[in-house]
Amino acid sequence: DGGITQSPKYLFRKEGQNVTLSCEQNLNHDAMYWYRQDPGQGLRLIYYSQIVNDFQKGDIAEGYSVSREKKESFPLTVTSAQKNPTAFYLCASSPGTSPTSYEQYFGPGTRLTVT
Amino acid sequence: AQTVTQSQPEMSVQEAETVTLSCTYDTSESDYYLFWYKQPPSRQMILVIRQEAYKQQNATENRFSVNFQKAAKSFSLKISDSQLGDAAMYFCAYRSTNTGNQFYFGTGTSLTVIP
């Protein structure tokens, strides 16, 4: 089946450790996105990438880093510089500039807890 | 940046009745896309309905329909014949055609369906 996978579903880390969240898609989409979801705040954009080897900061990029070495993969690293990393993280993809299909498709999410 | 506002944090509806969720947005663009996403307790984001700004006709998908008022920058979602499975968080989203295909989300409306 085509879709977006995020692993693991739940992730626990100690404060001060970097952690990488996985996002893989087999939809052949050009664009990929990372969002953070906190209660009462909706989805906030962390980073997005429109094409391989290129990415842009979103609204809350501080303390996060990404890479886009392959079209199907867009891993997110939560660094120790992120002050409040505990949250639900959603990865999404979109065909990009195609006029015929322009919504985002979402993965199941990863719940990160840092103690 | 574009902003999306959902002024109803919580709504409730009797099963089989109709409910309308509100969404307003702020933009200077003339061409864009609007979406409603549903997030059930599983937290998987599901596309409910989409609307192209250049289309005057309101989109419909089975029991879901929108009231798109471009001049008023309003995009409400009507759910008819509400079912227990409609209980979820609903997010309104705006996609820019200019700023790198970014999506902007509202803070969500939590819908409860009363049996």
Q: A5-36 pLDDT, tens per residue?
A: 998 999 999 998 999 999 999 999 989 999 99
Compute the distance between CA of residue B26 and CA of residue B49 in angstroms, rounded to an integer: 20
Three-state DSSP class for residue B86: helix
Q: Do B106 and A42 touch (CB under 8 A)?
A: yes
Tell me the pLDDT tens digit for each residue of A31-87.
999 999 998 778 999 999 988 999 999 999 999 999 999 999 999 999 988 889 999
Question: Which band of pLDDT confidence, cut at 50, 70 and 90, is reported for residue B75?
Answer: very high
Residues of B in contact with A31 (CB under 8 A): 101
SS3 content of chain B, % helix, strand, coil (to 5): 5, 55, 45
Compute the distance between CA of residue A66 and CA of residue A56 in angstroms, rounded to an integer: 9
CB A96 within 8 A of CB B101: yes
Question: Which band of pLDDT confidence, cut at 50, 70 and 90, is reported for residue A103?
Answer: confident
End-to-end Cα separation, chain B, in angstroms: 40
How many residues are present in chain A? 115
The shortest CB-CB distance from B91 to any of A33, A42, A88 is to: A42
CB A2 within 8 A of CB A105: no
Question: Which band of pLDDT confidence, cut at 50, 70 and 90, is reported for residue A108?
Answer: very high
Beta strand A54-57 with B88-96 is unpaired
CB A45 within 8 A of CB A35: yes
> What's the confidence (pLDDT) of residue A102?
75
Q: How many contacts does A have with B, using Cβ atoms within 8 A? A: 54
Judged by a CB distance cut-off of 8 A, whether residue A112 touches chain B is no
B interface with A, Cβ–Cβ below 8 Å = 1, 9, 33, 35, 37, 42-45, 47, 50, 91, 93, 95, 100-103, 105-108
Question: Which band of pLDDT confidence, cut at 50, 70 and 90, is reported for residue A109?
Answer: very high
Residues of chain A numbered 55-74 and touching chain B (CB < 8 Å):
56, 58-59
Bridge partners of A4, per DSSP, are: A25
Residue of chain A whose Cα is closest to the Cα of B102: A48
CA nearest neighbour of B77 among B68, B89, B88: B68
Tell me the pLDDT tens digit for each residue of B15-60.
999 999 999 999 998 889 999 999 999 999 999 999 999 888 999 9
CB B75 within 8 A of CB B66: yes
Residues of chain A numbered 75-94 and touching chain B (CB < 8 Å):
88, 90, 92, 94
The pLDDT mean for chain A works out to 90
For residue A8, is the peptide bond before it cis, meaning its omega torsion is within 30 degrees of 0? yes
Q: Do B108 and A42 touch (CB under 8 A)?
A: yes
> What's the confidence (pLDDT) of residue B31?
86
Q: Do A42 and B107 touch (CB under 8 A)?
A: yes
Q: Do A56 and B44 touch (CB under 8 A)?
A: no
The shortest CB-CB distance from A94 to any of B50, B101, B106 is to: B101
Residue of chain A whose Cα is closest to the Cα of B91: A42
> What's the confidence (pLDDT) of residue B98?
72
**Burial class, B103, CB count within 10 angstroms (exposed 0-12 / middle 13-18 / buried 19+):** buried
For chain A, what is the total number of helices (H) and then of strands (E)? 0, 11
